[in-house]
């Protein structure tokens, strides 16, 4: 009985250690998603991407299959916060995938959930090619070349990678730059 119980515990520990590691799942905070849902359309309006908008402001939400539910939750939050759109623009959110980003090519922004370095690199190349503002849930992706994330301290502050903005040709409004924290490192 003692051996069977210990063997079961050992198998459970092994399956937890090795079974979940292959999913690459990331835990996302609902309150942080709420903040992003309110601020993402404003990032577009406070950038040169505003000039690309005809009638509809488009934001592509890029994610892996494992983060599908979280992406849909973010889309729902944006729709709830902006049921009539923002200013005179409707808001269209695209449920994108790192495996197929082509439907996002006409967007003004791509919001990136965490994924592998390979997918981030591919998404940044795609965003540079189609001149998309890039925003990431995780501020660590600023180092990889994402343009904007959020610094969550006592205040919520945009965290801007100037090198990344220069690289893909997107400009930010001076007001947004003044209230932002500037990221000094990062990809060129």
Q: In CATH, what number is assigned to the domain containing residue 142?
A: 3.40.50.2300
pLDDT, residue 20, reads 41
pLDDT at 186 over 60: no
Instruction: Collapse the DSSP code of 95 into the 3-class scheme (helix H, G, I; strand E, B; otherwise coil) and give the result.
Output: strand
Q: What is the pLDDT of residues 81-138, one digit of tens each?
A: 999 999 999 999 999 999 999 999 999 999 999 999 999 999 999 999 999 999 999 9
Assess if residue 89 is contained within a domain.
Answer: yes
Structural domain range at position 49: 28-183
Token pair for 148: 């904007």
Domains of the chain: total: 1
Asked, for residue 6, whether it belongs to a domain, the answer is no
What pLDDT was estimated at residue 22? 38
pLDDT tens sequence across 155-177: 999 999 999 999 999 999 999 99
Tell me how far apart the alpha carbons of residues 139 and 28 are, in angstroms, rounded to a whole number.
Answer: 13
Exposure of 139 in the CB half-sphere (CA atoms within 13 A): 15
Token pair listed for 140: 């660590």
Residue 14 lies in a domain: no
pLDDT in the model for residue 26: 74
Average pLDDT, the chain: 89
What is the model's pLDDT at position 46?
A: 97
Segment (H or E) for 59: strand 56-63
Using DSSP bridges, classify how beta strands 181-183 and 133-136 pair: parallel, antiparallel or unpaired: unpaired
Asked whether residue 110 is domain-assigned, the answer is: yes
Distance of CA 6 to the CA centre of its chain: 43
Residue 169 lies in a domain: yes
Helix (H, G, I), strand (E, B) or coil at 31: helix
């Amino acid at each position: 009985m003692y051996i069977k119980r210990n063997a079961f515990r050992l198998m459970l520990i092994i399956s937890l250690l090795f079974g979940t590691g292959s999913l690459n799942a990331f835990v996302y905070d609902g309150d942080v998603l709420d903040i992003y849902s309110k601020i993402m359309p404003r990032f577009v309006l406070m950038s040169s991407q505003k000039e690309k908008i005809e009638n509809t402001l488009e934001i592509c939400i890029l994610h892996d299959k494992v983060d599908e539910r979280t992406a849909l939750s973010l889309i729902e939050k944006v729709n709830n916060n902006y049921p009539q759109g923002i200013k005179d623009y409707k808001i269209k959110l695209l449920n994108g995938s790192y495996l197929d980003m082509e439907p996002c090519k006409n967007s003004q922004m791509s919001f990136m959930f965490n994924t592998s370095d390979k997918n981030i690199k591919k998404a940044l190349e795609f965003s540079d090619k189609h001149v998309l503002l890039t925003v990431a849930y995780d501020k660590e992706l600023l180092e990889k070349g994402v343009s904007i994330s959020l610094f969550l301290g006592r205040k919520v502050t945009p965290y801007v990678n100037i090198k990344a903005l220069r690289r893909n040709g997107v400009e930010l409004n001076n007001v947004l730059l003044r209230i932002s924290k500037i990221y000094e490192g990062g990809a060129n």
